[in-house]
Structure 1
Amino acid sequence: MGDSPELSVCIVTYERPEFLRRCLGSLARGLAPETEIVVVDASAEDRRDIADEFDHPVVYVHAPQLAGWMTRSRNEALRHVHGAIVSFLDDDVVLRPGWERALLDAFADPAVAAVSGRTCNGLPGEEHYAKPIGRLLEDGTLTDGFASSPDAPQAVDHGIGANMSFRRSVLADLGGFRDDYPGTALREDTDIFLRIRALGGRAVFAPDAAVDHLPAPHVRGARFDTRYKLYGRRNHMVLLARYDGIRSPMLRRWVRVQFRAIGRAGGLGARLKRLAVTVVGVGWGWFAALRSASWHPLPPRRDDALGRELRATLGAPADASA
């Protein structure tokens, strides 16, 4: 391409063609003509015809070999972006008016390395959140609040994968996403924000960079089913072990929080089910952490072959691959 765009928007999708069509329609209406759109589709069927329905050009990448690995699809998208700012949106969101302008305004501060936008779920009262938004607490738990609507941008420790954006230069420095969070890829979004934090980068929550999240069904299983909860505990343990080390007091506190929560489940059957999910999820996470973390915090920068490749690709002049 010629002049580099200021913004590249990436959509990762898998077997949800109608949601992809709705999302792309929203982008075509809501983005500036020069903004780049990249779609990585891990579906079995090539659906570039959907991308071709819109006047706004779309870089469509058909990658069925990446099915089941969201973060690998995100890294594939990074091979095709040209913007100084790189955004990732889920395929089941639509933009609210002003999303792009609010996002770029947040990045006008050169100290900002990452932005999490507001992700609205249509739930009563979600615009109010009593806790600090997007924080990693001392007990290893995470606060949410990404549907809330504060009066101004807020500093955060982590963001939400459905609506998150980064400076291209920071993604280059990191060597892309860690792409070994399996299942529903829970915590892969938190991971990259915490790696940015470890580099000294600043992340903010920009409430005016808002999308409506209109959830699509999972291709396998359901949102928040037992499988989802098991992956959540497994991936959270790996996340904390990588960020703070396997011997981290934070990790031990988080495990205690999980077991204490068993008693708050309503009824004996619910407590037994939560006990089973907690024991299996924490045990699975412990063995996974032993393989993929260390006694001490891991360096935030990837230094494997893919990390070096993405660092070179993203660090090159933005139009060098045209």
Structure 2
Amino acid sequence: MSNENLPHISVCIPTYKRPALLDRCLKALQNQECSGFTYSITVVDNDINGSASETVQGRQSRSAVEIRYDIEPEQNISLTRNRAIGNSNGEFIAFIDDDEFPEPSWLQKLFDACRRFSADGVLGPVMPYFEGTPPVWLVKSGLCLRKSFQTGTRLNNPRYFRAGNLLFSRHIVEGETLWFDPSFGRTGGEDADFLGRMAKLGRTFVWCDEAVVHEEVPEERQTRSYHLRRAMIRGLTSATPGLLLSRGTLKSVVAVIAYTLSLPFLLVAGHHLFMRYLVKDCDHLAKLFAYCGVKLVRERTF
């Protein structure tokens, strides 16, 4: 079969002022295994000044893979992702973040899983790649690890929906007017919202545990304050404001009481345990306030 008849994957990378990490991601994407499909890369810069332009041009000049570049002038991750979809031309669309880099078999594993399980989309693991030597408490706490599943597991819970390692068929966005919701563009959570809405429409998403990407964990993300702020954002974006009397509210109330009472004992047991459950506590606390219409954090600044 000629390349013209093979399905095409558009790999989309939203980026914002991380040229060195973007360059590493683009370098890793140059040598992807690609049996049964072709692929190209679409970079959308969320910096109105085009700070990623030089990096992309440097890769374009020596790349066998087509690399497109565009700018989304309004600082908003949802609009950036939407522009990437608009600029893509593949039957499949993949997303990877600019601070990540894939294994050589990444695209192949996602594509094969999508076909094997007749899915509309596939997600895979994002493994931490620490800058320097991380604190012992951080490694032992598992705060940088995300839940993984057996390959082929169907995903239904929005808490496991992310766009940092994602492939989906273009047909799921055809006819849709709202892809990634701009109201999440400054807080995050736009990916869980998008995939959650798609799942409610009957789209199927499965897990591929072999499709691995690595995420940079810089030193500024190895601090207690970072993980507490991140928990606040996560709680805010996962709650539905206005549902004060709901099962979710009751669950968060119970969780906050239980976690808060256990914190002194956990501090004695080990700092990694204390931090793990303090983060959970902040997550549910932020969710409770959000249920009441109060935002403890206005937007993501990290």
Give yes or no for TM over 0.5: yes
User: In structure 2, do the counterparts of structure 1 residues 248 and 195 end up closer, same or farther at CA, with 3 Å as the change threshold?
Assistant: farther
User: Paired residues, what number?
Assistant: 257
The aligned residue for residue 229 of structure 2 is: 227
The aligned residue for residue 113 of structure 1 is: 120
User: In structure 2, do the counterparts of structure 1 residues 105 and 215 end up closer, same or farther at CA, with 3 Å as the change threshold?
Assistant: same
The aligned residue for residue 179 of structure 1 is: 182
Instruction: Tell me the distance in 2 between the aligned counterparts of 1:122 and 1:216.
Output: 8
1:5 touches 1:82 (CA, 8 Å); kept in 2? no
Q: CA RMSD in A?
A: 3.6
SS at match of 1:83: coil
Return the match for 1:52 from 53, 57, 75.
57
User: Which TM-score applies when normalising by structure 2?
Assistant: 0.71
Q: CA deviation at 1:120?
A: 1.8
Instruction: Tell me the distance in 2 between the aligned counterparts of 1:265 and 1:30.
Output: 46
User: In structure 2, do the counterparts of structure 1 residues 283 and 99 end up closer, same or farther at CA, with 3 Å as the change threshold?
Assistant: same
The aligned residue for residue 283 of structure 1 is: 289
SS at match of 2:120: strand
SS at match of 2:255: helix
Q: Which amino acid aligns with 1:180?
A: S
Q: CA deviation at 1:104?
A: 0.9
The aligned residue for residue 156 of structure 1 is: 155
Q: CA deviation at 1:144?
A: 4.4
Instruction: Tell me the distance in 2 between the aligned counterparts of 1:251 and 1:4.
Output: 49
* Structure 1, gaps ≥5 residues long: 124-142, 290-322
Q: After superposition, where does 1:23-38 map in structure 2 within 5 Å?
A: 23-30=25-32, 32=34, 34-38=38-42
Instruction: Tell me the distance in 1 between the aligned counterparts of 2:265 and 2:185.
Output: 31
* Structure 2, gaps ≥5 residues long: 131-144, 268-273, 296-302
When you count helix as a share of all residues, which structure comes out higher?
2
User: In structure 2, do the counterparts of structure 1 residues 257 and 182 end up closer, same or farther at CA, with 3 Å as the change threshold?
Assistant: farther
Instruction: Tell me the distance in 2 between the aligned counterparts of 1:248 and 1:277.
Output: 17
Return the match for 1:63 from 59, 72, 79.
72
CA offset digits 1:272-310 (Å, max 9, x no partner): x88788655532453179xxxxxxxxxxxxxxxxxxxxx
Q: Which amino acid aligns with 1:156?
A: L
SS at match of 1:86: strand
CA offset digits 1:130-164 (Å, max 9, x no partner): xxxxxxxxxxxxx9423x6x4x3322224333111
Q: Which amino acid aligns with 2:288?
A: V
CA offset digits 1:201-250 (Å, max 9, x no partner): 2111111211122235779x988344323222111113xx69xx776424
User: In structure 2, do the counterparts of structure 1 residues 70 and 4 end up closer, same or farther at CA, with 3 Å as the change threshold?
Assistant: farther
1:99 touches 1:210 (CA, 8 Å); kept in 2? yes
SS at match of 1:207: coil
The aligned residue for residue 192 of structure 1 is: 194
1:4 touches 1:82 (CA, 8 Å); kept in 2? no
SS at match of 2:31: helix
1:93 touches 1:214 (CA, 8 Å); kept in 2? yes
Q: After superposition, where does 1:296-315 map in structure 2 within 5 Å?
A: none
Q: Which amino acid aligns with 1:200?
A: G
1:234 touches 1:288 (CA, 8 Å); kept in 2? no
The aligned residue for residue 295 of structure 1 is: none
User: Which TM-score applies when normalising by structure 1?
Assistant: 0.67
SS at match of 2:87: coil
1:8 touches 1:36 (CA, 8 Å); kept in 2? yes
Q: Which amino acid aligns with 1:65?
A: E
2:232 touches 2:286 (CA, 8 Å); kept in 1? yes
Q: Which amino acid aligns with 1:188?
A: E
Q: Which amino acid aligns with 2:233?
A: Y
1:89 touches 1:162 (CA, 8 Å); kept in 2? yes
Q: CA deviation at 1:195?
A: 1.5
Instruction: Tell me the distance in 1 between the aligned counterparts of 2:46 and 2:85.
Output: 15
CA offset digits 1:80-119 (Å, max 9, x no partner): 0111111110111111121111111112147411211122
The aligned residue for residue 249 of structure 1 is: 247
User: In structure 2, do the counterparts of structure 1 residues 248 and 193 end up closer, same or farther at CA, with 3 Å as the change threshold?
Assistant: farther
Q: CA deviation at 1:177?
A: 1.5
2:43 touches 2:70 (CA, 8 Å); kept in 1? yes
